[in-house]
Amino acid sequence: MKKLLENRKLLIIGGLLILFVFGVGYLALPLGGPKPLQIQLQVGAAAPPAAAPAPIPTPVVEEPVGPVVPIERAVPRGNGILFPLGERIVNLADPGGYRYLRIAITLEFLPESAEFYKLPPAERAAREEEFQAEVTRQKPLIDDLVISILSSKTFADIFTLEGKEQLKAELIEKLNATLGDKKYVGAVYFTDFVVQ
């Protein structure tokens, strides 16, 4: 019996020693060491060797032709053409229809090119007036779209800060899709926002 216990101790100690040696050996291998061998079996005719992939052409960066993209570093917020839509009261889509939203919105349009910001003040003001007149002509279209979007929201949709940010993003997306070229909404500002 005593001999059996000694043999067990030797086996346990030997096993631990082997695990220790393999563990140290594994940690000592470099990270880019050899990968395990993989064998892939194929049934049927052999597939032709794959051709080397064609090199990916490098894209040519061109000067933007359309509106200035709303990048905060390139066009700081508030430097575009501001167009107030005024205040409006809209019923929310909550069950029962007892909640409503009073909101005032100002849209910030970005000019067609960055050259707008380099114009002399008098010429820039003249261009802003011309643009304001053009957007005013489309104001019924803008109002209809804004009211449709706002009235489709519930209190839960717009109550949180994230909900308000999602509402702004949706307004920007739908307005840009509707207004056409040369009019790009870069930001939406809520200057009044009350839900009751």
Whether residue 61 is predicted with pLDDT greater than 50 in this model: the reply is: no
* All structural domains of the chain with their residue ranges: 81-195
| 89-132: pLDDT as tens digits | 999 998 887 899 999 999 999 887 778 888 898 998 898 999 89
pLDDT-above-70 percentage for the chain:
69
Q: What per-residue confidence (pLDDT) applies to 7?
A: 75
Q: What per-residue confidence (pLDDT) applies to 160?
A: 92
Whether residue 142 is predicted with pLDDT greater than 70 in this model: the reply is: yes
Q: What per-residue confidence (pLDDT) applies to 114?
A: 78
Whether residue 68 is predicted with pLDDT greater than 50 in this model: the reply is: no
Q: What per-residue confidence (pLDDT) applies to 76?
A: 64
**Best CATH choice for the domain 81-195 from the list 3.40.50.300, 3.40.50.2300, 3.30.479.30, 3.30.930.10:** 3.30.479.30
Whether residue 187 is predicted with pLDDT greater than 50 in this model: the reply is: yes
Q: What per-residue confidence (pLDDT) applies to 101?
A: 92
Whether residue 164 is predicted with pLDDT greater than 70 in this model: the reply is: yes
Whether residue 148 is predicted with pLDDT greater than 50 in this model: the reply is: yes
Q: What per-residue confidence (pLDDT) applies to 16?
A: 77
pTM: 0.61
Q: Which residues pair with 81 in a beta bridge?
A: 109
Q: What per-residue confidence (pLDDT) applies to 129?
A: 92
Gap between the Cα atoms of 1 and 187, Å rounded: 86
Residues with Cβ within 8 Å of residue 36, at least 6 apart in sequence = none
What would the DSSP string read from start to end of 11-39? HHHHHHHHHHHHHHHHHHS-TT-PPPP--
Q: What per-residue confidence (pLDDT) applies to 70?
A: 43
| 37-54: pLDDT as tens digits | 555 555 555 555 556 666
